[in-house]
Amino acid sequence: MTESYLLGVILFAPFVGAAVLATPWVSNRHPLLVRQLAAFFSGISFIGSFILLFAFDWQKGGYQFQEKYVWSEQLGIQFYIGVDGIGVPMVLASSILLFAGVFISWHIKDRIKEFYAFLLILAGATIGVYVSLDLFFLYFFYEMSVIPMYPLLGIWGSHTKGYLETTNAEEWERPDAPRFILNFARNSKEYAAMKLTLFLSAGAIAALLGILLIYKASGLNTFEIPVLAEKAHISGTLATIIWLLCFFGFASIAPLWPLHSWSPVGHAAAPAATSMLHAGVLMKLGHFSIIRTCFQILPDTTHDLMPIAAILCILNILYGGYVAYYSNDTKYVIGYSSSSHMGYVFLGMAALDYISLTGAVLYMFAHALATGMLFAMAGWVYDQTHTRDIPSLGGLVAKMPFVAGCFLVACMASVGMPGTVNFVAEVMIVLGSWSKYPVQTVIAVLGIVLTMAYLFRMMRGVFYGQLSELGHHAHDAEALVDRVPLLIMIFSSVMFGLLPGRMLDVIRSGVNPILARIVEVAPVVTQTGTGLLP
């Protein structure tokens, strides 16, 4: 069954690109060719997903652009892809960040062929999760997106705070011994990479167990999400066990407090483009997969157990914000801020309200762009000054006005200033959650103030004040390839912030049928299709 090949093209372009780069005919001796190939294949996805947004028929709703092939009759697995209103913005976010990430990484010199191959696999796999309508392939792409993080962090990453001061090479004869890897005080990039991979894989296998239990309990011999959502009636203790496995398994990537500890370390160690994709779209795999499994297949259990998320999300917001305020490493600040902001998405989901869930999905999209920008700029500053230590930076605005300007916009977007898409999303989450969780909503709004505090503290420390010694040889982003990715992200953020109508309609067409099965209230019919965007 094939309605259109558009989704297949968007999904497979990065993989084809990675395969082309992996062939012996593309050599590291021609770096420009490698970069151009990566840009070409990610560009296909980029253009394709913009077409997808405008070709998606939100009035019809449901799953569109479906493609379905039998993959294994014996196991009941189909290669079944298609998007609903939730998938569309996330596919768009993934391909924007991938395309921007290719340009952000333009100046990497070491083994660029391998770098771009892994980056394309990472981004292709995240797109794969967002379009999978078969639980097996959801997991397939999920795990596939986790593994490339290991080489990306390990090879092209950088050691995090305090590593150089505490490392005594002679003391550690075997830097791959378990006690070295598991030593929390020593923030080498190897440690960050291993921690991230093992942490996320452990979460993934918990979710896999949940998926296998769904397969067993439904008795339908299929992994197809629409069929399971309709026909699998799982209830009682088993449903609770499955729900907890899927929820906490997938929430570990989200990252829900207290499963977040891999995330700031991982963000900080990763190269800029990887941090962007990681914080921008990889973390949202968690929320998205929870919607696909818990919300769609176990609606009743979700209704009963979602208050767990309403409690934990507050810890996310406050703890993440608190640590971000006291961090002196730029990437740690952004990493913890991401982890804090993911609390808003959980709040929007926990309220089980039409407006707040729509807001949560939009927030996932908005946060991808804002955090992508922040990480891109933090990466630029690091490349120019070779430090991420805020106290030893300062006054960079004189040296890099363009980057400083973009950074300000990114901070504003992250805070949720009107005019950016984050504002729309935050307002919707807060409005929707108010009736059900007033206390949490108040704390969440206070969290926005906290966001301002730590982002502006970082902004001041890095760009204003006395020009530090380290900044004397810093350059601005002057070349076109350096400016294009930043401009793309700013443009998308502002465009959807000023004209969110179409995006909201698309998201709502996906959210409404899912939520209608969880809560009794029917969706409020509102018209935001303003016609400003086609």
Partner 1 sequence: MTFDLNLTLSDLLLMLPELWVTLWICVVLCMDFLMPRMSQRAIAGLSVAGLGVALGFLLWYYADGTNGVLFKGMFVLDRLALFFKILVVGASLLVILSSIDYVGRFSFFKSEYYFLVMMAALGMMFMSSANDLLSVFVTVEFSTFGFYVLVAYLRDDLRSSEAGLKFFILGVFAAALLAYGTSLVYGETGTFIFPTIAQGTADMTPGLVVGWLMIFAALGFKIGTVPLHSWIPDTYQGAPTPITAFLSIAPKAAAFAILLRMFFSTLAAFKPQWVWLMIGTAMLSMLYGNIVAIAQRNIKRLLAYSGIAQIGNILIGMAAGTRMGADSVLFYLLTYLFANLGAFAVVIAFSQATNSDEIEDYSGLNRRSPFLAFTMLIFLLSLAGVPPLAGFIGKIYLFVAAIKEGLYALIVVGLISIVISLYYYLVVVKKMYISEPADPTPIKVSGWLQSVIYVGLAGTLILGIWPQWFMTQIVLATDLFAHLGPAPVVTLLP
- Which residue ranges make up the site for partner 1 (CB under 8 A)? 22, 24, 70-75, 111, 114, 136, 139-141, 143-144, 147, 150-151, 154-155, 176, 178, 181, 190, 193-194, 197-198, 201-202, 205-206, 208-209, 212-213, 215-216
Instruction: Give, rounded to a whole angstrom, the gap between the first and last alpha carbons of the chain.
Output: 28
**Distance from chain centroid for Cα 249:** 16
Q: Is the CB of 41 or the CB of 141 nearer to partner 1? A: 141
Give the shortest CB-2-to-partner 1 separation in angstroms: 17
Q: Is 157 helix (H, G, I), strand (E, B) or coil?
A: coil
Q: Is the CB of 96 or the CB of 125 nearer to partner 1? A: 125
Cα–Cα distance for residue pair 119/135, rounded to 1 Å: 24
Q: Is the CB of 301 or the CB of 338 nearer to partner 1? A: 301
Query: What percentage of the chain's residues is helix, strand, coil (to nearest 5)?
Result: 70, 5, 25
Give the shortest CB-144-to-partner 1 separation in angstroms: 5
Q: What is the 3-state secondary structure (H, E, C) of 1-57?
A: CECCCHHHHHHHHHHHHHHHHHCCCCCCCCHHHHHHHHHHHHHHHHHHHHHHHHHCC
What interhelical angle do 262-269 and 149-156 show, nearest 10? 50
Cα–Cα distance for residue pair 200/493, rounded to 1 Å: 29
Give the shortest CB-249-to-partner 1 separation in angstroms: 11
Cα–Cα distance for residue pair 411/99, rounded to 1 Å: 21
Q: Is the CB of 273 or the CB of 381 nearer to partner 1? A: 273
Let me know how long the chain is.
Answer: 534
Give the shortest CB-312-to-partner 1 separation in angstroms: 23
Q: Is the CB of 72 or the CB of 435 nearer to partner 1? A: 72
Q: Is the CB of 71 or the CB of 402 nearer to partner 1? A: 71
Give the shortest CB-245-to-partner 1 separation in angstroms: 10
Q: Is the CB of 24 or the CB of 531 nearer to partner 1? A: 24
Q: Is the CB of 213 or the CB of 533 nearer to partner 1? A: 213
Q: Is the CB of 39 or the CB of 214 nearer to partner 1? A: 214
Give the shortest CB-24-to-partner 1 separation in angstroms: 8
CA distances from 181 to 102, 149, 169, 258, 337 (A): 30, 16, 14, 20, 25
Judge whether 180 and 172 are in contact, CB under 8 Å.
yes
Give the shortest CB-76-to-partner 1 separation in angstroms: 8
Give the shortest CB-223-to-partner 1 separation in angstroms: 10
CA distances from 305 to 242, 266, 484, 528 (A): 12, 30, 44, 32
Residue 224's DSSP bridge partners are 134
Give the shortest CB-452-to-partner 1 separation in angstroms: 38
Q: Is the CB of 168 or the CB of 237 nearer to partner 1? A: 237
Q: Is the CB of 293 or the CB of 340 nearer to partner 1? A: 293
Cα–Cα distance for residue pair 529/534, rounded to 1 Å: 9
Give the shortest CB-432-to-partner 1 separation in angstroms: 36
Q: Around Cβ 452, how many Cβ atoms within 10 Å?
A: 16
Cα–Cα distance for residue pair 285/258, rounded to 1 Å: 18
Task: Provide the token pair at 3.
Answer: 């309605």
Judge whether 533 and 315 are in contact, CB under 8 Å.
no
H or E element at residue 65? strand 64-72
DSSP annotation string for 197-252: HHHHHHHHHHHHHHHHHHHHHH-SS--BHHHHHHH----HHHHHHHHHHHHHHHHT
Q: What is the 3-state secondary structure (H, E, C) of 245-259?
A: HHHHHHHCCCCCCCC
Give the shortest CB-289-to-partner 1 separation in angstroms: 15
What interhelical angle do 31-55 and 87-104 show, nearest 10? 160
Cα–Cα distance for residue pair 498/503, rounded to 1 Å: 11
Q: Is the CB of 139 or the CB of 325 nearer to partner 1? A: 139
Give the shortest CB-18-to-partner 1 separation in angstroms: 11
Give the shortest CB-241-to-partner 1 separation in angstroms: 8
The dihedrals phi and psi of 157, each to the nearest 5 degrees, come to -80, -175
Report whether the peptide linkage leading into residue 255 is cis, meaning its omega lies within 30 degrees of zero. yes
Q: Is the CB of 114 or the CB of 300 nearer to partner 1? A: 114
